[in-house]
Amino acid sequence: MEELLDPALGDVRLFLVHDDNKARKLRYNLGPARVLTFGGAYSGHIRAVAAAGRRHGFETIGVIRGEEHLPLNPSLAYAAACGMRLDYLDRASYRLKHTPEMEARLRERWGDVAILPEGGSNAAAVRGCAELPGEIGAAYDVICCPVGTGGTLAGISAGLPAGKRALGFAVLKGGGFLTEEVARLQREAYGRVWPNWSINLDYHFGGYARTTPALNGLIAKYRVEGVYVAKMLYGVLDLVRQGAFPRGTRIVAVVTGQPSTPVAE
Ligand SMILES: Cc1ncc(COP(=O)(O)O)c(C=O)c1O
């Protein structure tokens, strides 16, 4: 854990905790002999599942959004090198990936598979992420994290000690649905929804994987991963500037990815 020192923080203290949420989401999802999951061509989740399959000896199938492009980009080349078999769905079909019809089609094609949703967010993933707050070895008031599919925030919130809060930053445009999604994931994992979290929708910077000169400035200054971590960090610093946190608040920001995640282990 490191403290981020920025004059803009004033009396608020901001700590960065490096933590791989993808590994946490997979921890309680290991077990089936064959796992099929979904992602974009640069998905960290796809890479994480492929690596886990190789390490733990289960088969993996990655269903990728869009057409196949050869040669494979470094991210998919890494997944393939781990033994993941790659399948592709055009964008219209990909939108239907979690419908019973599409799941039936995929099972017909790939046989007896455990289907892991895009981003790896399911009840088991939430339980894995719920272990994060208990491992933070310092006093804090708020934990912040980026939100893509919601499993990380759902888990962090469920694992928080009484009196602490979780604040997620949506990295995609039109992320209003994520509030219901995080609630759904908590219900699925624990049968209840916690009142200690919220999602800020103001720092998507144009949409998923989009950026702006201002966001690029922050990425360059702090050398952080751009799709998730930078948006959260920008949001935290901006909210502090606006006085959204009381003086003395101790914030932990979860740094879930590294700049240009290495494609080899
Ligand atoms: C680096 C990184 N941070 C944060 C997230 C968002 O997590 P979630 O999808 O659980 O909201 C992801 C997506 O899995 C990610 O790859």
Task: List pLDDT tens digits, range 210-257.
Answer: 999 999 999 999 999 999 999 999 999 999 999 999 999 999 999 999
Task: Give yes or no: residues 245 and 154 share one domain.
Answer: yes
Which residue has its alpha carbon closest to ligand 1 atom 12?
A: 148
The confidence score (pLDDT) of residue 263 equals 45
Q: Which residues, at least 6 apart from 205, have a Cβ–Cβ distance to it below 8 Å?
A: 211, 212, 214, 215, 231, 234
Exposed/middle/buried for 221, CB within 10 Å: 0-12, 13-18, 19+? exposed
Q: Give the end of a domain, one of 95, 120, 145.
A: 120
Task: Give yes or no: residues 114 and 14 share one domain.
Answer: no
**How many angstroms does the Cα of residue 43 sit away from the middle of ligand 1?**
10
Task: Give yes or no: residues 77 and 139 share one domain.
Answer: no
The confidence score (pLDDT) of residue 261 equals 55
> What are the tens digits of pLDDT across the range 100-114?
999 999 999 999 999
The confidence score (pLDDT) of residue 260 equals 74
119 lines ligand 1 (CB under 6 A): yes
Q: What is the largest CA-CA distance in the chain?
A: 58
Q: Give the end of a domain, one of 66, 86, 120.
A: 120
Query: Of all atoms in ligand 1, which is nearest to the CA of residue 22?
Result: 14
Residue 261: inside a domain: no
45 lines ligand 1 (CB under 6 A): yes
Q: Which amino acid is at 142?
A: V
Our count of domains for the chain comes to: 2
Residue 176: inside a domain: yes
Q: What is the mean pLDDT of residues 116-128?
A: 97
Q: Please report, rounded to a whole number, the percentage of residues in the chain having pLDDT higher than 70.
A: 98
> What are the tens digits of pLDDT across the range 13-22?
999 999 999 9
**How many angstroms does the Cα of residue 47 sit away from the middle of ligand 1?**
13
- 203 versus 6: which is more confidently predicted? 203
pTM score above 0.85: yes
Residue 141: inside a domain: yes
> What are the tens digits of pLDDT across the range 60-88?
999 999 999 999 999 999 999 999 999 99
175 lines ligand 1 (CB under 6 A): no
121 lines ligand 1 (CB under 6 A): yes
**How many angstroms does the Cα of residue 49 sit away from the middle of ligand 1?**
13
Task: Give yes or no: residues 79 and 138 share one domain.
Answer: no
Task: Give yes or no: residues 7 and 53 share one domain.
Answer: no
Q: Are 258 and 228 in contact (CB under 8 A)?
A: no
Residue 174: inside a domain: yes
> What are the tens digits of pLDDT across the range 141-172?
999 999 999 999 999 999 999 999 999 999 99
The pLDDT of residue 265 is above 80: no
Which residue has its alpha carbon closest to ligand 1 atom 5?
A: 148
Task: Give yes or no: residues 141 and 228 share one domain.
Answer: yes
Task: Give yes or no: residues 97 and 157 share one domain.
Answer: no
Task: Give yes or no: residues 115 and 145 share one domain.
Answer: no
183: left (phi over 0), alpha (psi -120 to 50) or beta: alpha
Domain that holds residue 109: 30-120
Q: Give the end of a domain, one of 87, 102, 120.
A: 120
Best residue among 42, 144, 228 to mutate for probing ligand 1's pocket (most ligand atoms within 8 Å of CB) is: 228
Best residue among 24, 28, 127, 152 to mutate for probing ligand 1's pocket (most ligand atoms within 8 Å of CB) is: 152
Using CA atoms, how far residue 257 sits from 107, 126, 194, 246, in Å, is: 31, 18, 26, 28
Residue 244: inside a domain: yes
2: β partners: 16
Mean pLDDT of the chain: 96
CATH of the domain at 177: 3.40.50.1100
